[in-house]
């Protein structure tokens, strides 16, 4: 059973972020390929979850990064077909564009489990995800409570920082989930893409310059949230512009406890749990056992208004180091 404690522990693993090196040769037994598409804390922690589940089951795990390139994703799948892996666990880059390579793997007798993102159709043996809508909705609920006290009876100007050009469906689900909760309290003045921290700093700085009366920024992932908060501080707008975001790491948790009052709330995923469950699903299919076709991993709210909860989260992080 997935409990609040297990979610917290799984999310806490995000700060460990150990470097993962590609495996060189297959083990004599079962081998499973795990493919990520970038190297942020979320992806690193998914890899950790996959590694833990692989070690527990005596499976050889082959790690790879498609670097957010559909062509490389296809090449990696071809490589693993040639190597003779029994299963591939990946976060597809495109609901449609990833299908040909995945179909090729399935035609070769390989079990495919998707995690984080999905594809159209029913090709994957199982899918393990967090609800992107829930991520946005949870953070939106925290923003609504904040705005009820901060700006009762008036609308505030808000900007969103997302990753629509990277993963449009996932990005839109998070942004729309957030905006649906605060639609009567905000006026959207800018919607930009910036999912890495350095890019987000520059993008949000430009947003602030163009909209000096902006009061809220919502960022749809870890890098965007970190960059948005840093941009607000860089502009000297602490206490005037407030950031809400998605993902949970040690850095974001510390930002919630910082006296600067910039970051207000985030909704954390459970990447360790996602990786672990993906490998377990692949093993179950290979063993001929029944599996749940679509597994949704619950999310966890962390808010400045609940510092004890944030401190508990940080204590769990320390316990894992």
Backbone angles phi, psi at 33, to 5 degrees: -95, 135
Q: How far apart are CA 92 and CA 102, in angstroms?
A: 9
Q: How, if at all, do strands 31-36 and 60-65 pair? A: parallel
pLDDT of 35:
97
Judge if 4-130+270-297 and 132-268 fold alike in CATH terms.
yes
**CB-based contact 246:135 (threshold 8 Å):** yes
Contacts of 205 (CB under 8 A, 6+ apart): 231, 234, 235
Helices (H), 58-126: 70-83, 99-107
Q: Which fold has domain 4-130+270-297?
A: Rossmann fold (3.40.50)
Angle, nearest 10°, between helix axes 271-286 and 41-57? 40
Catalogue the E-assigned strands of the chain: 31-36, 60-65, 87-90, 111-115, 126-129, 156-162, 186-193, 216-219, 242-246, 263-268, 294-296, 300-303
- The residue written with tokens 């043996």 in the block is 125
The DSSP-derived string for 172-190 is: HHHHHHHHHHHTTTEEEEE
What are the boundaries of each domain within the chain?
4-130+270-297, 132-268
pLDDT of 317:
60
pLDDT in tens, the chain (321 residues): 334 444 444 444 433 333 333 333 443 489 999 999 988 878 888 998 999 999 999 999 999 999 999 999 999 999 999 999 999 999 999 999 999 999 999 999 999 999 999 999 999 999 999 999 999 999 999 999 999 999 999 999 999 999 999 889 899 999 999 999 999 999 999 999 999 999 999 999 999 999 999 999 999 999 999 999 999 999 999 999 999 999 988 899 999 999 999 999 999 988 889 999 999 999 999 999 999 999 999 999 999 999 999 999 888 766 654
Backbone angles phi, psi at 107, to 5 degrees: -65, -25
Convert the pLDDT of each residue in 263-311 to its tens digit.
Answer: 999 999 888 899 999 999 999 999 999 999 999 999 999 999 999 999 9
Closest CA to 123 of 77, 174, 67: 77
263-268, strands of its sheet edge to edge: 186-193, 156-162, 216-219, 242-246, 263-268, 300-303
Q: What top-level class would CATH report for the domain 132-268?
A: alpha beta
């Amino acid at each position: 059973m997935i409990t609040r404690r297990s979610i917290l522990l799984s999310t806490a693993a995000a700060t460990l972020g150990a470097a993962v090196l590609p495996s060189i040769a297959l083990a004599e037994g079962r081998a499973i390929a795990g493919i990520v598409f970038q190297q942020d804390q979320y992806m690193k922690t998914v890899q950790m979850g996959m590694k833990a589940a692989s070690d527990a089951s005596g499976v050889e795990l082959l790690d790879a990064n498609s670097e957010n390139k559909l062509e490389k994703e296809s090449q990696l799948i071809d490589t693993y077909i040639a190597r003779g892996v029994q299963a591939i666990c990946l976060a597809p880059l495109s609901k449609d564009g990833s299908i040909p390579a995945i179909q090729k793997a399935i035609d070769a007798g390989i079990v495919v489990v998707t995690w984080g993102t999905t594809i159209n159709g029913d090709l994957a043996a199982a899918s393990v995800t967090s609800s992107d809508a829930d991520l946005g909705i949870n953070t939106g609920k925290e923003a609504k409570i904040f705005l009820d006290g901060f700006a009762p009876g008036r609308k505030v100007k808000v900007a969103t920082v997302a990753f629509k050009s990277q993963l449009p469906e996932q990005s839109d689900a998070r942004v729309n989930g957030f905006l649906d909760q605060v639609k009567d309290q905000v006026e959207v003045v800018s919607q930009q893409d910036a999912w890495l921290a350095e890019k987000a700093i520059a993008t949000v700085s430009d947003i602030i310059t163009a909209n000096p009366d902006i009061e809220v920024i919502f960022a749809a992932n870890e890098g965007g949230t970190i960059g948005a908060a840093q941009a607000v501080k860089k502009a000297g707008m602490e206490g005037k512009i407030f950031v809400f975001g998605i993902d949970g790491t040690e850095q974001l948790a510390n930002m919630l406890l910082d006296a600067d009052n910039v970051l207000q709330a985030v909704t954390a995923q459970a990447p360790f749990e996602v990786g672990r469950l993906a490998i377990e699903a692949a093993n179950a299919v290979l063993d001929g056992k029944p599996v749940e076709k679509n597994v949704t991993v619950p999310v966890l709210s962390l808010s400045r208004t609940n510092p004890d909860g944030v401190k508990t989260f940080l204590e769990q992080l320390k316990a894992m180091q």
